[in-house]
Amino acid sequence: MNMQTKPPRTQAEQALLDSFAEKVGQLPGDAKVTIARDRLLSAITEAGLPTRRIESWHYTDLRSLLRGVPGKSGGAARALEPLVSGTVVWPVVQGVAANPSAPEGVELTPFMDLLASGEAAGMLAARGADDLIGQLNGAFAEDGYSFSVSADQAIEEIIELQSVQAGGQVHNRFVAGFGSRAKATVIERHLGHKGESGLSSSISTLEIEDGAEVTWIILQGRGESDQHLGQLSARLGADATLKLFVINAGGKLVRQEVHVDVAGEGAHFDLRCVNLLAGDSHTDVTLTLGHAVPHTTSKEIIRNVVLGRARGVFQGQIRVAKEAQKTDAQMACNTLLLSDEGEFAAKPELEIFADDVVCAHGATVIDIDHTHLFYLMARGITDKSARALLVNGFVDELVGELENEDLVEALETLIEQWLVDHG
Amino acid sequence: MLEIKNLHARIADDGTEIIRGLNLRVKAGEVAAIMGPNGSGKSTLSYILAGRSDYEVTEGDILYNGESILELDPSERAAKGIFLAFQYPVEIPGVATMQFLKVAMNEQRKARGEEELKTPDFIKLVKEAAGSLQIDPAMLKRPLNVGFSGGEKKRAEILQMKLLAPKLCVLDETDSGLDIDALKIVSDGVNALRAPDRAIIVITHYQRLLEHIVPDSVHVLYQGQVIKSGDKSLALDLEANGYAQIIEAAA
Ligand SMILES: Nc1ncnc2c1ncn2[C@@H]1O[C@H](COP(=O)(O)OP(=O)(O)OP(=O)(O)O)[C@@H](O)[C@H]1O
Ligand SMILES: [Mg+2]
């Protein structure tokens, strides 16, 4: 006989249930929303937090890694200056959005309003049984922004979605629509305060219509003891382009999922990901990418810098459907391992059902190149600065691909500062 | 300025001895040419002067202004004024040339207790130096040496040398890969650096370079030793007769 006994609840699981019980009455939403929340929470209660036995969580055993779920409320947080000066900031402070103005051609609504009216009920669904982030965020989602860029609108200004957290729990939602041939650059920036440890989840959903061009930057800079669970889902129409940059430079336990559906012919998806890992943090970037139709392309480059006892994971799954002939999909994961105690696991996975495609993936782990180091030092640059230059160069190559020079400069400064702080 | 005494050095990895009892003196203000067949140890000597850790000195000493430099790392040697123009300059993706130049200049200044350069002053210096070497400013926007042609790399080395104004310059086959006009431009650049308080060591295979940069002394390196020294006429002699006689005479 095979009796399935459920393992006892972990402290974190119990704390999640407790905080739901405590908060449920105050979470925004109509009856439909409440039902959706309950359903998602019971999915977590039933299955428990995912363990390594769940394939998509194999390298991030959340059940053992998620520690110390804080109560809902945290300390006092406040919005910061935008990453690129002069850009539009839409703040979400300690989980709560404001009422900022939007540039011409953009319609903006706080997500809380959509919950209250019940419009968001349909958005509170998990992607599948293993979608812990969808379940958690859907159960607790409180606020964020929903916005849409009209067709043919090119938004010159960068839009910064700025989520600031000082401990406690924060669960954000961003819903973005880009009309046909629209153009926009959006920064999704997650910031933490020192000291207080927080738990956050954040889901962004992008609908990119035919011919639209979107640059989306996820800049995760939560505090050293924060736990952050992020997810971005995007669907690309015909000839649409999504350039996604992910920079992880913070947090103690981080998982960033990216789910992209390249659904229209001629569409292109780019992922550039920089993981700056230090201390005893655990950072997981998980990508699922579907090429569903012919003549689409994608390119993913992941660069990791690993210091201390940090652990990193990249899972990249590319599915090419039977119909999706002439797909060109390239994936590379390069790690600069600067510590014997650090590690990075890369798991590329290609599922190709079409026969006329070009798909490739590669993973490398390297150390500082000694010839490079000698050359720099022979010019009077000290060992420490020379190493910093080389590490910077390793990741700057990706950042340099961005078109906006102010943005490139801001990100380079940020990376440099991270290396100074942790090097 | 430079005194190499009975230097023995080997490859750290496998212990192969490359430099086998080498002696050389170069005075301040002097231009010394080092010639010698392929594989005789010329580049190895230049690397050892610059402090590359792939080589181990097992015997002898290198004195620079009377002090041994064996214990100094490459950046400390550079800060003291030693500069090596590489035979094969290294491509470093991701590191912007301008940023590299700025860091190098400022780190050397810092090591010498001088003030950092202000950005406009720095840019002005680079522009002037690049102009005199006919280096396209667009090249400096690229990552360090990445995609530079062979000749462009050599010019970039001399640009660095000009900007860092070292006291002991070692040029390892700077002439190889340069076209006729570039050879002239680069030689002029080097000649402009000739000064009573500066020594220049030119490693080359060809007399042609030495017509532009006229040496005070010429040394022939063979199997890790200086087997003959002379004045500039020695280079002409080598050009005409090759190494065979000298090697035989030394044996
Ligand atoms: N790191 C190394 N590993 C193995 N062999 C080496 C190494 N460095 C130097 N050698 C060997 O030492 C010898 C001297 O090399 P070096 O590059 O100094 O010669 P060179 O005089 O500069 O020659 P060329 O005129 O061709 O530039 C060669 O036989 C070379 O193969
Ligand atoms: Mg050589």
Exposed, middle or buried by CB within 10 Å (0-12, 13-18, 19+), for B115? exposed
Single-letter amino acid, residue B231: D
Q: Please write the tens of the pLDDT for every residue from B172-203.
A: 999 988 888 889 988 998 999 999 999 999 99
Q: How far is CA A40 from the centre of its chain?
A: 21
Q: What is the DSSP string of A151-179?
A: TT-B--SPEEEEEEE-SEEEEEEEEEEE-
Closest to B199 (Cα-Cα) out of B87, B80, B103, B86? B80
Q: Using DSSP, state whether A377 is helix, strand or coil.
A: helix
Of B77, B94, B103, the CB nearest to A385: B103
Largest CA distance in chain B: 58
> What's A5's DSSP letter?
P
Closest to A67 (Cα-Cα) out of A307, A281, A257, A246? A281
- On the question of pLDDT at A5 being above 80, the answer is no
Residues of B in contact with A400 (CB under 8 A): 94
Single-letter amino acid, residue A248: N
Q: What is the Cα gyration radius of chain A?
A: 21
Residues with CB under 6 A from ligand 1: B 11, 18, 36, 38-44, 54, 87
A294 Cα–ligand 1 center, Å: 53
Q: Please write the tens of the pLDDT for every residue from A375-397.
A: 999 999 999 899 999 999 999 88
Query: Which carries the bigger pLDDT value, residue B232 or residue A260?
Result: A260
Largest CA distance in chain A: 73
B45 CA closest ligand 1 atom index: 18
pLDDT at A92: 96
Min distance A328 CA to chain B CA atoms (Å)? 25
Question: Cβ contacts of residue A139 below 8 Å, gap of 6+?
Answer: A20, A37, A38, A40, A41, A44, A124
Site from B86, B99, B103 to mutate, A interface, most A CB atoms within 10 angstroms? B103
Residue pair A391/A336 in contact by the 8 Å Cβ criterion: yes
Residue B78 and residue A380: Cβ atoms within 8 Å? yes
B237 Cα–ligand 1 center, Å: 25
B35 Cα–ligand 2 center, Å: 10
Q: Among all ligands shown, which has an atom nearest to the Cα of B41?
A: 1
**For atom 18 of ligand 1, which residue has the closest CA?**
B41
Rounded Cα gap, residues A246 and A146, in angstroms: 21
The pLDDT confidence band at residue A194, using thresholds 50, 70 and 90, is confident
Q: Using DSSP, state whether A286 is helix, strand or coil.
A: strand
ipTM of model over 0.85: yes
**For atom 5 of ligand 1, which residue has the closest CA?**
B11
pLDDT at A4: 60
Q: Please write the tens of the pLDDT for every residue from B36-62.
A: 999 999 999 999 999 999 999 999 999
- On the question of pLDDT at A76 being above 70, the answer is yes
Q: pTM of the prediction? A: 0.87
Of A383, A393, A396, the CB nearest to B73: A383
Chain B residue at shortest CA distance from A396: B94
B87 CA closest ligand 1 atom index: 27
The verdict on B147 touching A (C-beta cutoff 8 Å) is no
Of A381, A395, A400, the CB nearest to B107: A381
- On the question of pLDDT at A21 being above 70, the answer is yes
